[in-house]
Amino acid sequence: MKYVIPILLLLLAFTNITQAQKPTDKRLQGLDTLVNRLLKEWNAPGVGIAVVEKDKVVYAGGFGFRDYENKAPVSANTLFAIGSCTKAFTSALLGNLQQEGKLRLDDKVKTHLPDVEFYTDHLTNTITIRDLTCHRTDIPRHDYSWYLNPTSRDSLVLRIKHHENFAELRDKWYYNNFMFLLQGVIAEKHTGKSWEDNIRAQFFEPLGMRTSNFTLWDGQHAAHAAKGYQVGKNKDIKSMDYYQIEGMGPAGSIFSSPAEMANWVITWINGGKFQGKTVLPESYVREAISSQMVVSPDVPGTDNPDVQFANYGMGWFLTSYRGHYRVEHGGNIDGFSASTSFFPSDSIGIVVLVNQNGSVLPSMIRNYIADRMLKLPHRDWHQQRKKAMDEAKAAEAVASASDSLNRKLGTRPAHLVAAYTGRYEHPGYGAFTIELNKDTLMILFGNKNGNGWLEHYHYDIFRPRGFDEEDLASNSPVRLQFYTNLKGEIESAGMYSVEPTLEKIVFKKQQVAIAVNKSDLENYLGEYELAGMVAKVYLRGENTLMVMVPGQPDYETVPIGTHEFKLKVLDGFSVRFEMNADGQAGAVYFIQPNGTFKATRKK
């Protein structure tokens, strides 16, 4: 009998959990059956849901599993990554700062962050805080920068200067995570606290969001943590590691639960108040959920003629959903998808959190719940989504066929495989390294999720491939093209199709410095004459060879080969010394893009 009692208790506990997931509000009758069916059909592990009305929680619970392997169920307290649903929190910090008189949303960013620079002087001197909040800087996403090469918050801010814009300021709407990073940095500067501490103090604490956090992977909330998953090639459910997004935190690093996100949505529905206390200024709430920028100028589609306009507020998407004003934002990060929405005129709010990568379920379940809460005629969102996915697959097949036609078979790379190895850098994207593993080129980034191998496509163009079945089967448009200088050496690599609005991002190959003793460097010192001009080679410190040319700044060099040195600040420029039998340099060749010039050493 001593073994029977624990088993019975476990069964009773599981029964209570299962029953707790079933909604009691008549408008949500049958939601459990619907959601469980959707989880099965879309191969998703679990979902957490919160529905609020005015200042009350109508439902908070979950279905499926937060831990699929161990069959641990989702509950109202399960913690999910909410991804870009974080953005409304970040912009709201600035709303509070505006209320305190510390800034105005129409202030220039330069006023509050004097050291920040954008791609052009015009952008640097013109972009406002409001531009950051509503994605109208016309700087594209440049997401490979932070996702493939994560780094500190300060270092990410420095990269923005090198992120090319594709249109004029406020000309088009274009989503950009870096602009929300800057908002978080502005809040940090004015408060003297980290973005995380600001979110805790201004929102988590007054809203009773006691378990919401920014680092679920650290194990402190293991009892409530959802694990992330993706759909495998064979429709199986595969686990994914958490993406540790600290540097880009203000754009999407919050983990929260349905129960705690319900309090956040209640606050917005009630004009910034929660349980009678003001958490957000009412004036900011109205401004943030009003149209600041047109997202899409298209007319409504034939499938949903009553879903109209697509605009953006401050950290929120805005649309007319079947005649009801909807405020919403989605979120996606490795292994998780989310939707946070509310209907301010109807005082209805809906949160859907799913532990599946790139899931269609948050928007689908949100719509089903909205239709019930707003007493709208039934619409088969499931079939609509399947139809859209079938059309997308057909388009992908056409693109794949086109790609096959463009590919030139039977070609070879122009260089030996080893010549492609090395470190390639871009000031706005960080670096990647290409290494040789037997006869295969491997490409390595700061985030291991980007690592893979290079498949030869044709000529000097390669296609990055991942290590698992999904990456091998994908038809990614990303290509890597290597470029050669006049000396026949690989000097850079262009990465195509990483940013849809830009043709390519060029990474320059870094010369590997070699060690040279001071005694060897001394053999190069002296004056060299060319057509009446005298250049001087001298040492700075113990081991830095310098080249002085009249009328130009002194150039620091980096040793890159036998008697050859690269000019550190000039790409494509180097000097190579010609040695005499006595071991002393007799001449120096100035190698530059417009030719090679020999200067003879003066006696």
Q: What angle do CA 315, 319, 324 make, to 5 degrees?
A: 125
> For residue 476, what pLDDT band results from cuts at 50, 70 and 90?
confident
Least confident of 40-44, 282-286, 592-596: 592-596
Bridge partners, 47 (sequence order): 63, 354
The sheet with strand 336-343 has its strands ordered as 72-73, 56-67, 46-53, 348-354, 336-343, 324-333, 317-321, 307-312, 293-296
Q: What are phi and psi for residue 148, nearest 5 degrees? A: -85, -25
Rounded to whole angstroms, the Cα distance separating 393 from 117 reads 41
> For residue 10, what pLDDT band results from cuts at 50, 70 and 90?
very low
Say yes or no to pLDDT of 139 above 90. Answer: yes
pLDDT of residue 518: 92
> For residue 347, what pLDDT band results from cuts at 50, 70 and 90?
very high
Q: How many CB atoms lie within 10 A of CB 482?
A: 21
Rounded to whole angstroms, the Cα distance separating 341 from 54 reads 13
Mean pLDDT across the stretch 214-235?
93
pLDDT of residue 595: 84
Separation in Å, CA 486 to CA 292, 557, 572 = 50, 20, 9
Say yes or no to pLDDT of 470 above 60. Answer: no
pLDDT of residue 471: 53
Contact 545, 559 (CB under 8 A): yes
pLDDT of residue 306: 86
User: 193-232 b/e with 16+ CB inside 10 Å = b?
Assistant: eebbebbbebbbebbebebbbbbbeeeebeebbbbbbbbe
Rounded to whole angstroms, the Cα distance separating 157 from 153 reads 6
Say yes or no to pLDDT of 335 above 50. Answer: yes
Residue type, 186: I
Residue type, 489: E
End-to-end Cα spacing for the chain: 104
Contact 351, 262 (CB under 8 A): yes
**354 Cβ contact list (under 8 Å, min separation 6):** 44, 46, 47, 48, 80, 336, 337, 338, 361, 362
Considering the chain, what is the average pLDDT of its residues?
91
Runs of H (alpha helix) within 475-579: 518-521
pLDDT of residue 569: 84
Mean pLDDT across the stretch 344-369?
98
Q: How many CB atoms lie within 10 A of CB 450?
A: 16
Say yes or no to pLDDT of 291 above 80. Answer: yes
Residue-wise pLDDT for 509-521, tens only, equals 988 778 899 999 9
> For residue 467, what pLDDT band results from cuts at 50, 70 and 90?
low
For the stretch 232-240, contacts whose Cβ atoms lie closer than 8 Å and that sit 24 or more positions apart, written own/partner, are 232/469, 232/470, 233/469, 233/470, 233/473, 235/43, 236/43, 237/43, 237/44, 237/45, 237/68, 239/68, 239/69, 239/335, 240/334, 240/335, 240/357
pLDDT of residue 274: 98
Contact 541, 527 (CB under 8 A): no
Higher pLDDT, 530 or 337: 337
pLDDT of residue 3: 30
DSSP annotation of 162: G
Contact 165, 120 (CB under 8 A): yes
Say yes or no to pLDDT of 20 above 70. Answer: no
Q: What angle do CA 523, 528, 534 make, to 5 degrees?
A: 145
- The SS3 assignment for 11 reads helix
Q: What are phi and psi for residue 571, nearest 5 degrees? A: -70, 135
pLDDT of residue 474: 61
Rounded to whole angstroms, the Cα distance separating 504 from 494 reads 6
Rounded to whole angstroms, the Cα distance separating 479 from 463 reads 5
pLDDT of residue 390: 82
Contact 287, 314 (CB under 8 A): yes
Residue-wise pLDDT for 429-450, tens only, equals 999 999 999 999 999 998 888 8
Say yes or no to pLDDT of 11 above 80. Answer: no
pLDDT of residue 1: 29
pLDDT of residue 2: 32
pLDDT of residue 393: 81
Separation in Å, CA 220 to CA 217, 224, 336 = 8, 10, 19
> For residue 286, what pLDDT band results from cuts at 50, 70 and 90?
very high
